[in-house]
Structure 1
Amino acid sequence: MTSATRPAATAPRHTVGTGHAACHHGEILQGRFLDERRRPVHALVTLPMNGPGSTAYFTHRPGSPPDEVSVTPDGRTKARTAAVLAVRECAARRGADPCGGELTLTGCLPVGLGMGSSTSDVIATVRAVTDAWGLCLPPETVARIAVRAEGASDPLMHDPRPLLFAQREGRVLEALGAALPPTVVVGCTLAGGGPVDTLALPAPHHDGDLPAYGRLRRMLRRAVADTDTALLGRVGTASARLRQRTLCKPEFPALLAIADSTGAAGVQIAHSGNVAGILFDPRAPGLRHRVRSCARALEGEGCTPIRTFTTFASPSSEEYPWTRTSRKPSADRT
């Protein structure tokens, strides 16, 4: 039998693949930056957060059409699209016939708060599909699939290094260093924890701000290189201030006042959602008192504290047990 007449391979049978993806806590920096060809490109640097995320399970349905993918729970259309795209990618790499399957998603990420819930779903889905096929796709391929499924994507498919990521093109503009400076983040919700329709947001076109974003990019690069939490806070605050013109947060002046009164390094926000954080240097004296005072002040302003976490590897629940919070965002999903 010649290669021209050899039947195509088939997908693995009765194989369940699993995949997981973490979330993030909005952005440290987001705006328009010049790429390697000096073109203005929308890009962002996310604030990673360990813990919550999405887990996906994918089971092949041999003989079914490749677009026939059922999803539980209903309504996860972006994840379904990602599953179909991932199936076709894996089948092409295996030289096999694609087929549909069953996708199940679990997790407790709030939707529409700017924590990357849809990207987490999508990446977990792609990882589950590729696991079912016995493959592991490179992050660049996962990013391409995620952008096709969502229209824009966070860089959660990459390792947690700080990356300047073109979210609408799915590519890394710059790896800024090994890790963000050590930071304790007191996270809270704005606008009562209500979701934001990210697809309805206007795209900012402040070309006049390109020099400002270029400066913030250089400042962030230096903050990472020097492990300078104070400089990181300045970058987050400046980026949040620029974003006010596109998605105004009425609570922003209160966040600034609380950060100032508690000796924080600065603030950060979700540029397309309603989570925000007050940033503290863990090496600052009286950190426990500062964090607790911050949480009380946020509560008093109606900015409900929901989680306190760190940017460094050691779990905050062990090194900083007093930073844990028990509240959950009102938009939690099942």
Structure 2
Amino acid sequence: MAQAQCPASCGELIQGWILGSEKLVSCPVDWYSCVEVTSGKPRNDERPLTRAMVRQLLAHWQLPPGLGQTLRIACHSTIPVAKGMASSTADIAATAVATARHLQLPLDVRTLAQLCVALEPTDSTLFPQLTLFDHNTAGTQIHCGGLPQVEVLVLESPLTLTTADYHRLPRRQILQENATALESAWGKLQQACAENNATLLGEAATISAIASQALLPKPAFNTLLRLVERGDLYGLNVAHSGSVVGLLLDSDRHDVEAVRGWLKEMKLLAHWPQNFLLKMVAGGVT
């Protein structure tokens, strides 16, 4: 028996046309999908992508496909699905690492990334540091040094959007039109990580969130920006292919309960009735 866990993400810190194609840097938070792989009969309630990952792994290791029927996958996760919180990436990345541990076979993070994108567009939460990632091909993996101390007040919407639905949207022209803004955001994010500067990280995320409005607009977005300014928060980030929004702050510096009060006062609860205070983490499957 072996276990592994991978964090969720509150959308992305940045996502858009960067270095010649669409790329992203996820916003990993301390909410995990935990997977246990044991010897035994497969469960009837398995998540299909977790079983698909096991089949891919066996092919990668050139093992008999039938071996998969001797592996039992138990996935424990309360991460909201289809809202831009990287629930699928967390499930399949944790499944891959737990399977590798159970079978005592090697699996490095670059190979893990390639296996994940072969199943679906993948978040960069599987890397042990913030990473600029080509989520479609795994061809770009640029790691950022450092992790500013940031918490995320995750605003959850009842609206859902699957990753596949997002990728069917005509995006290329809009993404390219915002390339200059995203290059600026990427530069600020690198500087933020190098200097452990939460303010710069917030600025980078906000630039990307504003650009995202041209493609997948969030309701009452200008009101959210006013809330950020009112509370002198670091900024906000969004799920570029989902519905969640994150308010970037530090509970040692910012009054979280006041922010929650403003959400009600400014009538934002109509769009995001639930919120969770989470810590931003570096990422990685453990």
Q: Report TM bin, short chain.
A: 0.7 to 0.9
Q: Which has the higher contact order (CA 8 A, sep 6+)?
A: 2
Partner SS state of residue 122, structure 2: coil
Alignment correspondent of 2:4: 19
Contact 1:56 1:121 in 2 (8 A): no
Q: Is 1:196 matched with 2:161?
A: yes
What letter corresponds to residue 232 of structure 1 in structure 2? L
Using the size of structure 2 for normalisation, the TM-score is: 0.87
CA distance 1:72–1:43, shift in 2 (3 Å): farther
Following the alignment from structure 2 to structure 1, what is the Cα–Cα distance between the partners of residues 123 and 181?
22
Structure 1 stretches of 5 or more lacking a match? 1-15, 35-39, 62-69, 314-334
Alignment match of 2:98 (pick from 128, 132, 136): 128
Give the number of the structure whose residues are more often helix, by fraction: 2
CA distance 1:32–1:131, shift in 2 (3 Å): same
- Alpha-carbon distance, 1:44 to partner: 0.6
Contact 2:28 2:281 in 1 (8 A): no
Following the alignment from structure 1 to structure 2, what is the Cα–Cα distance between the partners of residues 72 and 251?
42
Which has more radius of gyration?
1
Alignment correspondent of 1:296: 261
Taking only the aligned residue pairs, the percentage that are identical comes to 24
- Alpha-carbon distance, 1:136 to partner: 3.3
Q: Is 1:247 matched with 2:216?
A: yes
- Alpha-carbon distance, 1:282 to partner: 5.3
Alignment correspondent of 1:174: 142
Structure 2 stretches of 5 or more lacking a match? none
Any runs of at least 4 consecutive aligned residues in structure 1 with deviations exceeding 3 A, and if so which? Answer: 281-284
Partner SS state of residue 27, structure 1: strand
Following the alignment from structure 1 to structure 2, what is the Cα–Cα distance between the partners of residues 203 and 83?
32
Moved more, 298-307 or 78-87: 298-307
Paired residues, number: 271
- Alpha-carbon distance, 1:312 to partner: 6.1
Q: How does 1:62-81 map to 2 (within 5 A)?
A: 70-74=42-46, 76-81=47-52
Alignment correspondent of 1:85: 56
Using the size of structure 1 for normalisation, the TM-score is: 0.75
Contact 1:112 1:198 in 2 (8 A): yes
Following the alignment from structure 1 to structure 2, what is the Cα–Cα distance between the partners of residues 183 and 89?
38
Q: Pairwise CA RMSD of aligned residues?
A: 2.1
Q: Is 1:141 matched with 2:111?
A: yes
Following the alignment from structure 1 to structure 2, what is the Cα–Cα distance between the partners of residues 273 and 312?
20
Contact 1:71 1:80 in 2 (8 A): no
Superposed CA offset, 1:267-304 (max 9, x none): 111111121111124564xx2xx311111222442123
Q: How does 1:273-288 map to 2 (within 5 A)?
A: 273-281=242-250, 284=253, 287=254
Contact 2:83 2:243 in 1 (8 A): yes
CA distance 1:234–1:219, shift in 2 (3 Å): same
Alignment correspondent of 1:41: 21
What letter corresponds to residue 263 of structure 2 in structure 1? L
